[in-house]
Amino acid sequence: MATFILLSKVSLRSPGEIRALSEMDREFEKRLREECPEVRRIASYALLGEYDFLHIFEAPDAKSAAKVALLANVFGHSTTQTLTAIPFEEFREMVEKM
């Protein structure tokens, strides 16, 4: 399994929508389990800065990771960026072999 980072920026239409974020996350988790059972969400964080949320997940491949990003965008309130994350120990091994 590969590790991926999903960064999202939420655009709320009104200040009262902030309360809906928790419910949207529950719905996202439910749909993730149903539609992408091969994916495992490792952690999620609220951020200060350019992005509002960071989700770390494992998926078998880039196609599965793209499904997660598409699913996150189904809610229509965010833009996302997906990154591949290589564990540093694996990266170090690659560097040492060069």
For residue 43, give the CATH number of its domain. 3.30.70.1060
> 39-77 b/e with 16+ CB inside 10 Å = b?
bebeeeeeeeeebbbbbebbbeeeebbebbbebbeebeb
pLDDT of residue 15: 67
pTM, two decimal places: 0.84
Q: How far apart are CA 94 and CA 15, in angstroms?
A: 47
Q: How many domains does the chain have?
A: 1
Stretches in the chain below the pLDDT threshold 50? none
CA angle 61, 52, 60 (to 5 degrees): 10
Distance CA 50, CA 9 (A): 8
Query: Domain span at residue 30?
Result: 2-97
pLDDT for residue 14: 64
Task: Provide the pLDDT for residue 43.
Answer: 96
Amino acid 79: pLDDT:
87
